[in-house]
Structure 1
Amino acid sequence: MKFRKLGKTGLNVSEISFGGIMLMDTPQKEAKRIVETAVKKGINFFDVGPTYGNAQNILGPALKPFRDKVYLANKTEPGQTKEQVRRDMEESLKLLDTDYFDLYQLHEVTDEDALNSALGEGGALEAIIEAEEEGLVKNIGFSAHKEWAALKLIKSYDFDTVMFPINWNYWFNYNQGPEVIKKAREKEMGIIAIKALAQRQWQDGRQNNYNTWYKPIYDNDRLAELALKFTLSQDVDTAVSPGDNRMLDLALDIYEENDEDLKISEAELEELKGFLESHGGKLYPIPK
């Protein structure tokens, strides 16, 4: 596994990282195996949150033997009050059996009201800053799925990281991603890519028991390879696996089969663009 510096945090994170939502409702024994395998293959960045069902409860015991060897990220909902965020954080620390988070984020900032609430007096960001001063949080970031929200947050506060979809379909169809990367790097922010192996919203209902709200690229190996190459060829630091452990296995297989070199070539880029008409489509709502 290769590693990249997560912006100004100074953390050296694995190019493939672990989306903790995949452990929701997973038997503990199976979760232990999934986490052990991930760590053995070099993954050292784990992301989870309190809105992912019981994922925290399950990840905590599975990750405990490796806590001093990995980085752990968590998050909170941006529309909550300072007091609510603090309760969220303390509960997460307890469930994950840790004394601190390497990164704590505003989660999925999608609308103006939540954004303004998070940045305002008595809001979520204030609680996270206080926790950072206490040593409970080492770095502060946010996740957003729409470019306007990400750009406003980047401008509004000196965040350490941004989590944003750097996805072939979202990038080419809606031009979502390039400007976020540019503005984040101007402030030396770390960039955590999500949705690298996402295809589009489900068209005929969820299939094969995949619990992701979007269709992951589970049924086209070549497209999955090109999609992951595309994301890791952009100026990002790590790509978070989709919310299904089979997709983590696929990402690691692709990574290993390419000898950990996922730089997309010009010919491959044109091949990937050729999938847009047949396999692309609406992933997120069209940005405003």
Structure 2
Amino acid sequence: MEKRKFGIHDEMLSIVGLGGISIKNTGQNKSDRLVRYAFDNGVNYFDVAPGYGDAQELMGRSLEGIRNDVFLACKTSNRRSKEADQDLENSLKLLKTNHFDLYQLHGMKSEKDFELVSSKGGALETLIKAKKQGKVKYIGFSCHSIKVAHMLLDNFEFDSILFPVNWNLILNAGFGPEVLKKADETETAVLALKSMADTLWKDSNIRDYEKCWYKPLNDKKMIDLAVKFTLSNNVVSFLPPGDESLFKMGLKAAQNFKKISNEELNFLKNKSIHSDPIGSSEEIFI
């Protein structure tokens, strides 16, 4: 498994990670098996959040014995420090650890989100304080808005951004290149979301993959190309969709990764003309 440097830091992350939503509601035995499968196949980047149901508790038990060998990322969706403090402490307890390698502001999408986290008593205070206390090693944010990503990168020093890097979003909608450029300029590590996204569900209440908020690619050729596209950008690692079978397909694509060729890129450009992305040039629709 190829590993890449986490921004300017010495940490080396596998180019694919396991998202906690993949183990949500699966039970402890299945969680243990998938976490071990990922680890045994070279994955050392694990991501989870309070919003993923019982995933924190499951992952905490599944990581016992290997916690010190992995890069564990968690998040808070709360925008004020009081509630974010509670999130952090509860997550540390459930994940059976005394620190997170990365702690992130979750799902930053609006100017209101920015105002709430960055003002006095905002959740950003929790991240900065926790970093000083050694409860978190690095701080970051996940984001689905070009404008908000720029606001955060322009005004604060983050170690990473968790951000959609998807062939169709970039080639069709033009979503993302300027944020990737800004991250490079600010030496902020890019962790990728939505790499294996295809399009929006026709009916969000009828989904072939229950834990996927968008319709994912499920064709091996397209998954391989989508992963190649993402990892050929300035990206440290990507998180496959929240489904065990799709995670394994993403893992296989990462294991076989080679930089995308001009021929493959042209194929995706032509395909994007006839494909509907999951967002516009400014934001993700979900």
Shorter-chain TM-score above 0.5: yes
Contact 2:16–2:43 (CA under 8 A) maintained in structure 1:
yes
- Partners of 1:209 and 1:217 in 2: CA distance: 11
Contact 1:17–1:44 (CA under 8 A) maintained in structure 2:
yes
1:243 aligns to 2:242 (yes or no): yes
Structural mapping, 1:91-102, within 5 Å:
91-102=90-101
1:170 aligns to 2:166 (yes or no): no
Q: Could you tell me how far 1:251 is from its partner in structure 2? A: 1.1
1:265 aligns to 2:242 (yes or no): no
Contact 2:22–2:243 (CA under 8 A) maintained in structure 1:
yes
- Partners of 1:53 and 1:210 in 2: CA distance: 14
Q: Equivalent residue for 2:253?
A: 254
- Partners of 1:139 and 1:209 in 2: CA distance: 32
Q: Equivalent residue for 2:160?
A: 161
Runs (5+) with no aligned partner, structure 2:
none
Q: Equivalent residue for 2:76?
A: 76
Structural mapping, 1:1-288, within 5 Å:
1-79=1-79, 81-205=80-204, 206-218=206-218, 220-256=219-255, 258=256, 261-278=257-274, 280-284=275-279, 287=282
Q: Could you tell me how far 1:9 is from its partner in structure 2? A: 3.0
DSSP-derived class of the 1:89 partner = helix
Query: 1:224-256 CA distances to partner (integer Å, 9 max, x unpaired)?
Result: 111111000001111112111111110122233
DSSP-derived class of the 1:57 partner = helix
Aligned-residue identity in percent: 39
Q: Could you tell me how far 1:152 is from its partner in structure 2? A: 0.9
Segment of structure 1 superposing worse, 197-206 or 170-179: 197-206
Contact 1:74–1:104 (CA under 8 A) maintained in structure 2:
yes
Q: Tell me the C-alpha RMSD between the 2 structures.
A: 1.4
Contact 1:78–1:117 (CA under 8 A) maintained in structure 2:
no
- Partners of 1:116 and 1:10 in 2: CA distance: 32
What TM-score, normalized by structure 1, do the two folds share? Answer: 0.94
Contact 1:49–1:74 (CA under 8 A) maintained in structure 2:
yes
**Pairs aligned (count):** 282
Query: 1:164-190 CA distances to partner (integer Å, 9 max, x unpaired)?
Result: 000011111221111111111111111
- Partners of 1:45 and 1:255 in 2: CA distance: 13
- Partners of 2:129 and 2:3 in 1: CA distance: 30
Contact 1:6–1:12 (CA under 8 A) maintained in structure 2:
yes
- Partners of 1:145 and 1:5 in 2: CA distance: 24
Amino acid of the structure 2 residue aligned with 1:148: K
Runs (5+) with no aligned partner, structure 1:
none
What TM-score, normalized by structure 2, do the two folds share? Answer: 0.95
Segment of structure 1 superposing worse, 133-142 or 70-79: 70-79
